[in-house]
Amino acid sequence: MTKQMHLTAFMRPVSLHTGAWRYPGAYADANFNFGHLKSFIRTLEAAKFDAFFMADHLAVLNMPVEALKRSHTVTSFEPFTLLSALAAVTERIGLAATASTTFEEPYHVARRFASLDHISNGRAAWNIVTTANPDAALNFGLDDHVEHGERYRRAREFVDVVTGLWDSFADDAFIRDQESGIFFDPARMHVLDHEGPSYKVRGPLNIARPVQGHPVIVQAGQSEPGRQLAAETAELVFCSPRDLESAKALYADIKTRMAAFGRARSALKILPAAFIVLGEMVEDAKRKRATLDSLVHYDSAIASLSIALGHDASTFDPDAPLPEIPDTNASKTGREQVLKLAQEEGLTVRQLAQRYGGYSGLAFVGTAESVADEMQLWLEQEASDGFTVVFPFLPQGLEDVTRDLVPELQRRGLFRRDYEGTTLRDHLGLARPANAFFSA
Amino acid sequence: MTKQMHLTAFMRPVSLHTGAWRYPGAYADANFNFGHLKSFIRTLEAAKFDAFFMADHLAVLNMPVEALKRSHTVTSFEPFTLLSALAAVTERIGLAATASTTFEEPYHVARRFASLDHISNGRAAWNIVTTANPDAALNFGLDDHVEHGERYRRAREFVDVVTGLWDSFADDAFIRDQESGIFFDPARMHVLDHEGPSYKVRGPLNIARPVQGHPVIVQAGQSEPGRQLAAETAELVFCSPRDLESAKALYADIKTRMAAFGRARSALKILPAAFIVLGEMVEDAKRKRATLDSLVHYDSAIASLSIALGHDASTFDPDAPLPEIPDTNASKTGREQVLKLAQEEGLTVRQLAQRYGGYSGLAFVGTAESVADEMQLWLEQEASDGFTVVFPFLPQGLEDVTRDLVPELQRRGLFRRDYEGTTLRDHLGLARPANAFFSA
C-alpha cells in the first residue's frame, strides 16, 4: 500500500495569516465564534482529517498597537473548553490541545487530557510547549522568563509525571460489581510518588486511565533540545520548515535520533505546517493569495519585512522593487530568503512586506492537482508524513481544501476515504502504550 | 408574585450517597459515563433547573482502603472538560464549575471561565474553593497545606485578579471592521497590572469580556472567613445546614453581612444542599432510603458512626439499639445529633452507621406534596432561596424529582415553568456587573 498521508488542521488561530479575517466573504469572527468553529470541525471530520490542532498563547501578544488592533487573534477560546465542547458534537476527528509545561501543574494537565480523552472516546492529543513568550511570564507572577535549556529539562520531567499519572489505574481496575459492592480493585491502583528536581507529585490521578492509554504526545520545538525531546517522547511533530530540503534534513534528523531511545521511526509522525491556497487555475490561486496579502496593513507589514531583512525598510519606495541593501552580518539567511522571493515572484517592496506581515512560511498555492503533486513529493521524499494545514481564510479556504484537494489525495491512494478506527491513535497508526505499572 | 425558588443539581459526584451506584436499577457508572451525564443534564434542563453544579477534588480522597474500593467517586471527569462538553449539548441550563484558589493560577481560572461563558452563551458560574484537603497539596508539590486564614486572604485577592481580568476589554471593544481593518479598539482594552501580597498578574486576558460580564460567583464556605468572603463576593451560596433553624441563622447571618459591603440582599442566593427521596406514599420514600442505606458496607459505615459519636462503635451489637455511651467532652453536638436521629427514626446501630456512612445531611424524604411543603416552608421562613438538590441514585432519583416534584412546585407558583432569559444571571435574577474600567 502507498504510504499514507496524515492531515491535521491548524485551528488556533483559524488562520495564521493576519489578513484572513478581512478576505472578501470571510467570517470576521471565525476565530471566536463557536457556531463557526463547530461547522469547521464537522467539515474537517467529513473530509476524514486526523485532527483539529489548537496552538495557544497565555497572553495578549506583545506587538505595536498599530499591528495589535488589526489582529484577529487577540480574543480566542481556551483550548480545553473549546475542544471539549467540540468533542461533544463530533465522533471521530482527533482533538489536539496545547498545554504549557512552564505555566501549568502536571496534575492538572494529566487530569484534563485524561478527561478530554474519555469524553471524546479516545481522541485527545497533548501539544507540549515550554512557552517562550515573556509576556506570558508576566501573567503568572514571573518577571524573568525561565531559561531555554532549563525549560526543556523541566518539560522532560513534566512529561514523566503526566504519563506516570495517566497510568495510575490498570485498564481493568474498575469492576463496578453492584452485588459485592466493590467499585474498583485497589491492587490495580498505583501511587506515583514522584520526587524529581522540579516536581514532587504523589498521585494517584483521580480519573481512570485514558481510553488511548496515553493521549497522543505532540511536540513543536525545532531547537536542539526540542528535537531531542521530540525524538524521545513525541508521537506527532508539528514543524515549520521553509522548503523541501530543510524539511528532509529535519525529518531525517528527528527520525534518526529516535533510535537512541529504542523507538521505531514509525512511532512518530512529522507534519510540517503548510499554508494551502487553491484555485481552479494556478493563476487563480496566486491571485487569491495576492488579494489576501494586500489586506495586511502596510505599517505592520513593513515592520515584519524590516525584521526579515535586518534593515529598516520603511524608507524604501513601497511600489518599487527591493533596492540594493548594504551587506551586514545581521540576519544573512533572512535577507537571502527575501531576495530569493523578490526575484522568483517579482514582488514590490509593498508586496514583499505584506507577504512577511501575512504568512511567510511554507505555502502550496495552485490547483488541487498541482498542490497534491507537491504534497505527494514531500511524502515520497521523506520530508514529511503529512501536513498541518493552515487555511488562508475561513470558511472558503477550508472548504476549498476539503472539497477539492482531499478527494484528489484520495484518488491517488494517499489519504483515507474513511476512518478505519475510532481513536486518534488508530488514525495515526500509533500503538496504545502499555501501562508502566501494570501488565494488561 | 410569590418568592421564586432556585434549583441547582449537585452533580459531582452524581450522588453524594456512597451506596448510590448499587441501588437496584441505578447506573453503576453514572458518575463517569458521558452519555449518562448528557441525558441527566438534558432532563434537568427540560425541568428548568437553574444550574448543574460540579464540586471537585484534586486528589483521590484519602480513606481506608475498605471504604475506598467501594467509592464510586474515585474516577470523575474534570469540571471544565465535562461542563464544556455539556454546554455544547444544552441551551439554557447554568454550568457551575469548582476551581481552587490554592492550586490554580488566576490567569488560567479567569480565562477558562470566560471561555466556558462564551461557549455556553452566558451560562458559567465559578464555585470558589480554597481546598482544605491535604491530599491535594501532595499532588502539587506541597508537604504542608496552607493555613486556613491565609487561604482565605489569598482567595480574596485571587477573586480581585480574576474579576479584574474579566474586565480586560470593554463590551464593545471588538469592532471587526473588515473595510478599515480595525479588529478592536485598543483604547477599550485595560492592562490590569495587579501587584498584591500573593499575586502579580499583568493582563490583559486574551479573551473578550464574558457574556455575563462576570460568570456567577459561587461560594461554599460556612466558616467565619467563608461567610465573610461570601457576603463580599458571592452571588450563590451552596451550604449544608442540618435543619431549618440552623439554616435560618446562617441565611440571616450572611445576608446581614452583605450590607457592610453595600450589597443588596437579593444579590446573593442561598441554596442549601437537600437530599431528596420521593415515593408515592411517604412510607415508600422511607423504604427507598432504607434500601439505599442498607447498601453501605458495614466496615466503612461503622467508621463514620464512630467519628460522629466521637466513640468507637465497632464493638456495639449492630442489630441492637444504640447503647448508653459514657459522656465525654469530645464531639458533644455530633453525639446529640446521633441520639436524636436514633430516637426519631428508631434505628439500630447498623442503620445509624449506614446513615452516617451514606448521606447524613439535610434530607427531604416523602411524597412530592410533602417534600414541596417542606421546601416551601424553608423558602417562606427565609431559610433559603431554593436548594441544591442531591439525588439519592441515578437515573431514577433524578427522574422522580423532575417528573413529580418540579410540577408540584410549579403548580404552587414557586418555580418557573420556563426559562425567562438566556443566561444563568437571568435565571437567578442577578444583575450583569458593570465593567470596573469602562462605562457601557
What's the CA gap between B212 and B123, in Å, rounded? 8
pLDDT at B40 over 90: yes
What's the CA gap between A316 and A414, in Å, rounded? 46
Q: What is the structure's pLDDT at A331?
A: 62
Mean per-residue pLDDT for B178-199?
97
Q: What is the structure's pLDDT at A198?
A: 96
For A233-247, give one letter per residue: b (16+ CB within 10 A) or e. Answer: bbbbbbbbbeebebb
Relative to beta strand B174-177, strand B124-129 is unpaired
Mean per-residue pLDDT for A193-208?
97
Q: What is the structure's pLDDT at B329?
A: 62
pLDDT at B1 over 70: no
Model confidence at B221, pLDDT cuts 50, 70, 90, reads confident
Relative to beta strand A51-54, strand A6-12 is parallel
Cα angle B402, B407, B410 (rounded to 5 degrees) comes to: 125
pLDDT in tens, B416-437: 999 999 999 999 999 999 999 9
Q: Is A196 exposed, middle or buried (0-12, 13-18, 19+ CB in 10 A)?
A: middle
Chain A residues whose CB is inside 8 A of the B28 CB are 176, 178, 183
Beta-carbon contacts of B412 under 8 Å, excluding residues fewer than 6 positions away, are B2, B372, B376
Residue B318: asked if its preceding bond is cis (omega within 30°), the reply is: no
> Which among A22, A60, A200 is the nearest to B204, CB-wise?
A60
A360 marked among binding-site residues: no
pLDDT at A290 over 90: yes
Backbone angles phi, psi at A163, to 5 degrees: -65, -35
Q: Cell 504510504 belongs to which residue?
A: A3
Cell digits of residue B319: 442489630
Q: Let me know: does A115 contact B77? Beta carbons within 8 Å.
A: yes
Strands (E), A354-421: 363-366, 386-390
Specify which of A132-136, A321-325, B37-41 reaches the highest per-range mean pLDDT: B37-41
What's the CA gap between B155 and B151, in Å, rounded? 6
CA closest to B22 among chain A residues: A178
Alpha carbon of B373: minimum distance to chain A alpha carbons (Å): 34
pLDDT in tens, B337-382: 899 999 999 999 999 999 999 999 999 999 999 999 999 999 999 9
Q: Let me know: does A334 contact A308? Beta carbons within 8 Å.
A: yes
Q: Hey, are the CB atoms on B72 and A183 less than 8 Å from each other?
A: yes
What's the CA gap between B235 and B212, in Å, rounded? 13
Test mutation, B29, B206, B393, B394, chain A, max A CBs within 10 A: B206
What's the CA gap between A249 and B424, in Å, rounded? 54
pLDDT at A324 over 70: yes
Chain A residues whose CB is inside 8 A of the B181 CB are 22, 70, 295, 297
Q: What is the structure's pLDDT at B255?
A: 97
Q: Which of A275, A274, A271 is nearest to A230 (CA)?
A: A271
Bridge partners, residue A440, by sequence: none
Mean per-residue pLDDT for A133-152?
86
Average confidence score pLDDT of chain B: 95
Model confidence at B328, pLDDT cuts 50, 70, 90, reads low
Q: What is the structure's pLDDT at A64?
A: 85
Q: What percent of chain B has pLDDT over 90?
A: 86
Cell digits of residue A307: 525584521
What's the CA gap between A223 and B33, in Å, rounded? 41
B56 marked among binding-site residues: yes
All structural domains of chain B:
6-279+367-428 (3.20.20.30), 282-358 (no CATH)
B73 marked among binding-site residues: no
Q: Which of A129, A137, A208 is nearest to A166 (CA)?
A: A208
pLDDT at A185 over 90: yes
Cell digits of residue B341: 436521629
Q: What percent of chain A has pLDDT over 90?
A: 86
Beta-carbon contacts of B403 under 8 Å, excluding residues fewer than 6 positions away, are none
Q: Hey, are the CB atoms on B112 and A80 less than 8 Å from each other?
A: yes
Bridge partners, residue B269, by sequence: B236
CA closest to A28 among chain B residues: B176
pLDDT at A208 over 90: yes
Beta-carbon contacts of A266 under 8 Å, excluding residues fewer than 6 positions away, are A429
Chain A residues whose CB is inside 8 A of the B184 CB are 69, 74-75
Q: Hey, are the CB atoms on B140 and A105 less than 8 Å from each other?
A: yes
pLDDT in tens, A90-125: 999 999 999 999 999 999 999 999 999 999 999 999
Q: What is the structure's pLDDT at A330?
A: 61
A56 marked among binding-site residues: yes
pLDDT at B228 over 80: yes
B291 marked among binding-site residues: no
Residue B321: asked if its preceding bond is cis (omega within 30°), the reply is: no
pLDDT at A24 over 70: yes
Q: Which of B216, B255, B68, B202 is nearest to B128 (CA)?
A: B216
pLDDT at B325 over 70: yes
Alpha carbon of B414: minimum distance to chain A alpha carbons (Å): 33
Q: What is the structure's pLDDT at B62?
A: 84
Test mutation, B38, B118, B168, B183, chain A, max A CBs within 10 A: B183
> Which among A88, A181, A208 is the nearest to B295, CB-wise?
A181
Model confidence at A143, pLDDT cuts 50, 70, 90, reads confident
Mean per-residue pLDDT for A137-142?
92
Q: Hey, are the CB atoms on A183 and B112 less than 8 Å from each other?
A: no
Sign of the Cα torsion A162, A163, A164, A166 reads positive
Backbone angles phi, psi at B139, to 5 degrees: -90, -5
Bridge partners, residue B53, by sequence: B10, B96
**Residue B290, CA distances (Å) to B28, B106, B319, B375 in order:** 19, 44, 14, 22
Q: Hey, are the CB atoms on B78 and A111 less than 8 Å from each other?
A: yes
pLDDT in tens, A219-260: 987 889 999 999 999 999 999 999 999 999 999 999 999 999
Mean per-residue pLDDT for A400-415?
98
Q: Number of C-alpha atoms within 13 angstroms, CB side, residue B25?
A: 11
Model confidence at B310, pLDDT cuts 50, 70, 90, reads confident
Beta-carbon contacts of B203 under 8 Å, excluding residues fewer than 6 positions away, are A139, B107, B164, B165, B168, B190, B191, B192, B193, B194
Q: Report helix, strand or coil for A269.
A: strand
Beta-carbon contacts of B73 under 8 Å, excluding residues fewer than 6 positions away, are B13, B31, B57, B61
ipTM: 0.97
Test mutation, A21, A80, A84, A354, chain B, max B CBs within 10 A: A84
**Residue B89, CA distances (Å) to A39, A182, B40, B43, B115 in order:** 15, 33, 11, 12, 16
Q: Hey, are the CB atoms on A69 and B29 less than 8 Å from each other?
A: no
Chain B residues whose CB is inside 8 A of the A32 CB are 118, 208
Cell digits of residue A145: 522568563
Q: Can you give chain B as a three-state secondary structure string?
A: CCCCCEEEEEEECCCCCCCHHHCCCCCCCHHHCHHHHHHHHHHHHHCCCCEEEECCCCCCCCCCHHHHCCCCCCCCCCHHHHHHHHHCCCCCCEEEEEEECCCCCHHHHHHHHHHHHHHCCCCEEEEEECCCCHHHHHCCCCCCCCCHHHHHHHHHHHHHHHHHHHCCECCCCEEEECCCCEEECHHHECCCCEECCCCEECCCCCCCCCCCCCCEEEECCCCHHHHHHHHHHCCEEEECCCCHHHHHHHHHHHHHHHHHHCCCHHHCEEEEEEEEEECCCHHHHHHHHHHHHHCCCHHHHHHHHHHHHCCCCCCCCCCCECCCCCCCCCCHHHHHHHHHHHHHHCCEHHHHHHHHHHCCCCEEEECHHHHHHHHHHHHHCCCCCEEEEECCCCCHHHHHHHHHHHHHHHHCCCCCCCCCCCCHHHHHCCCCCCCCCCCC
Q: Which of A434, A440, A356, A425 is nearest to A117 (CA)?
A: A425
Sign of the Cα torsion B74, B79, B84, B89 reads positive
Q: How many CB atoms lie within 10 A of CB B164?
A: 21
> Which among B77, B181, B200 is the nearest to A118, CB-wise?
B77
DSSP A49-68: -SEEEE---SS-----HHHH
Beta-carbon contacts of B244 under 8 Å, excluding residues fewer than 6 positions away, are B377, B378, B381, B383
Cell digits of residue A435: 501501562
pLDDT in tens, A327-383: 766 667 778 889 999 999 999 999 999 999 999 999 999 999 999 999 999 999 999
Q: Let me know: does A311 contact A48? Beta carbons within 8 Å.
A: no
